[in-house]
Structure 1
Amino acid sequence: MAEGIFVIGAGGHAKVIIGLLKALGKPIAGVFDDDPTKKGQSLLGVPVLGPVESAREYPGLKAVIGIGNNRIRKRIAECFRDVNWVRLIHPSAWVDPSAQVGEGSVVFAGTVVQPHAKLGRHVVVNTGATVDHDCFLDDYAQVTPGVHLAGGVVLEEGVMMGTGSVAIPLVRVGAWTTVGAGAVVTRDLPSHVTAVGIPAKVIKHHC
C-alpha cells in the first residue's frame, strides 16, 4: 500500500487540504477525483491518480475528504466505511485540549476552537473561523471563512454557515440548513431551510 495520506477531491477545497498537510509535514500519497481530465495531472505537486472509486484499490488507506459540499462529503464517507479517516488541525489554529475533534474533521489556519467544544465527523472549520466554548458541530457541518459562533451554539448535521456569518450564544441551527454570508443568527432556525440577513430570516425551504 502507498505510504502517506490520500486526498479525495481535486478542487479548491482540496488545495487547502494539501496546503494543510504540507504545513503539518505529512506525506501525501495522491489525490482522487472523478473528473477524467484531471487524471495524470497534479494538484500542488500531488498526482491525481484517478476516480474516487479507485480508492478501493488501496485497502486500509488513510484519507481526508477535500470536498466542500457537505452532502457529497457525507456520501463519500458512507460509501467508504473501511477508510481510516484522518483529522487535521493546522499548526496556526488554537484548539483547546478539552475540545473534541471527530474523525475526518479539518480545522484550518487561523481558527480558534474553545474549551469543551465538540466537532463531529467530517466537520470543516474554515480559515479564520471561531468556535467558542461548549459549541457542538454535528457530522458534516461546516463553518466557512470568518464565521463566529458564540458559546453553546449547536449546528446540527450538515449545516452550512456562510462566509462571515455569526451566531449568538445558545442558538441551534437545524440539520442541513444554510445560513447566508454575513447573516446573524439570533434565534433557533429549523432544519432544511436557507436563512439570510440581520437578523437571519428564512427565505427558502428545501429537502
Structure 2
Amino acid sequence: MAKDIFIIGAGTYGAVIADLAEVCGYSVSGFYDDDSSKVGKTILGKRVLGKLDCAKDIHAKANYAVAIGDNSVRILKLKEIIEGNGKIPVLIHPKAEISKYARIGKACIIHALTYIWTEAEIGDFSIVSPEVIVAHHTKVGEGCFIANGCRVGAGINIAERVFIGMGATVMTGVKKIGRDAIIGAGSVVTKDVGTESVVAGVPAKLVRKVDKV
C-alpha cells in the first residue's frame, strides 16, 4: 500500500514533484502553499488544502516533499517541517543512475536520467534535476539546486545553496564553487567561483554579486 505524502508548494513545480512522488510509490494526499489564493484549487486532481502552518498542525508526523526552487526558502520550509516532527523522504526516480559508492543526503530530490558517479556526494535538502551528470568525487553542499541537463565535472567542492542553471557545465579542474553562488544557464565554468557570485557566459565570468535581501 502506497504511503501518503503532502506536497509543499502548489506551483507548476509542485505538480512535477507530485508526479515524482507517485513514481516513487507514494500517494499524494494534497498540496499546501503559503499563497492563500491557491487554497481550494486542484493540481493533478489533488486539492490545495491550505497554508503550511495548517499542514504542520494537522499532519505532524506525515510525509512531505517541498517543491520550492529557491534554495534558502526550501531549506527554511524543510527545517520547519522536521522541527514539527514531519518526515521528508528522499525521492529518487527509478530511472536515475546512482553509484552504490555515492552518498545522497537527507530530503534530497533526484530526477530521472541523472547519473551520479562514484564517491560523489549530494548534500542534504538538494535537488538534482533530469539529465544531470555529477562526476566522481564531487561534493554538492546542502540545499543546492542543479537544473536540467547540467554537467558537473570531477573532484569539485560545491558549497551550500548554490544554483546551477539549465544546461551549464562546470569543468573538471575547477576546485570550488562558493556558497550562494549562481551559475547562469548554458554557462561553462572553467575556474573557481567565489561566494555569493553570479557568473555567466562561455567561459563563465563574474556578472555581479548576489543581491542581499
Count of residues in correspondence between the two structures: 205
Q: Deviations over 1:146-184 (max 9, x none)?
A: 100011122110000011000111421100000001111
Residue 197 of structure 1 aligns with an amino acid whose one-letter code is G
The answer for the alignment partner of 1:182 in structure 2 is 186
Q: Aligned partners of 2:56 and 2:173: how far apart in 1?
A: 42
The one-letter amino acid paired with 2:159 is: E
Within 5 Å, give how 1:159-170 maps onto structure 2.
159-170=162-173
Aligned counterpart, 1:44: 44
Which string of whole-angstrom CA distances, capped at 9 and with x for unpartnered residues, describes residues 124-165 of structure 1? Answer: 100111111111111111110010001112211000001100
Do the aligned partners of 2:173 and 2:190 also contact (CA within 8 Å) in 1? no
Secondary structure of 2:199 counterpart: strand
Give the aligned residue type for 2:104.
Answer: V
Q: CA shift at 1:79, angstroms?
A: 2.4
Q: In 2, Cα distance between the equivalents of 1:134 and 1:170? A: 12
Q: Decide which moves more: 54-63 or 124-133.
A: 54-63
Please name the residue that 1:22 is paired with.
22
State the distance in 2 between where 1:83 and 1:174 align.
Answer: 31
Give structure 1 stretches of 5+ with no counterpart: none
User: Could you tell me which amino acid in structure 2 is paired with residue 178 of structure 1?
Assistant: I
Range that drifts further, 11-20 or 136-145: 11-20
Alignment-mate amino acid for residue 206 of structure 2: V
Tell me if 1:121 matches 2:127.
no
2:5 alignment counterpart? 5
Q: Deviations over 1:41-95 (max 9, x none)?
A: 2111222110111121211121111111111101212323232111000011111
Partner of 1:148: 151
For the 8 Å contact 1:160–1:178, the answer to whether it is kept is: yes
Runs of at least 5 residues in structure 2 that lack an aligned partner in the other structure: none
State the secondary structure of the residue aligned to 1:27: strand
CA shift, 1:196, in A, is 0.5
CA distance in 1, matches of 2:47, 2:97: 31
Q: Is the 8 A contact 1:13 1:66 kept in 2?
A: yes
2:133 is aligned, of 115, 130, 133, to: 130
1:72 — aligned with what? 73
The residue number in structure 2 matching 1:99 is 102
Q: TM-score normalized by structure 1? A: 0.94
Distance, in Å, in 1 between the alignment partners of 2:157 and 2:6 is 30
Q: Please say if residues 125 and 143 of structure 1, whose CA atoms lie closer than 8 Å, have aligned partners that are also in contact.
A: yes
RMSD (Å) for aligned C-alpha atoms: 1.3
TM norm structure 2: 0.92
Question: What CA deviation, in whole Å up to 9, does each residue of 1:82-129 have, x standing for no partner?
Answer: 321110000111111111111111000111111111111110100111
Identity of aligned residues (%): 29
**Within 2, Cα distance between the matches of 1:74 and 1:21?**
19
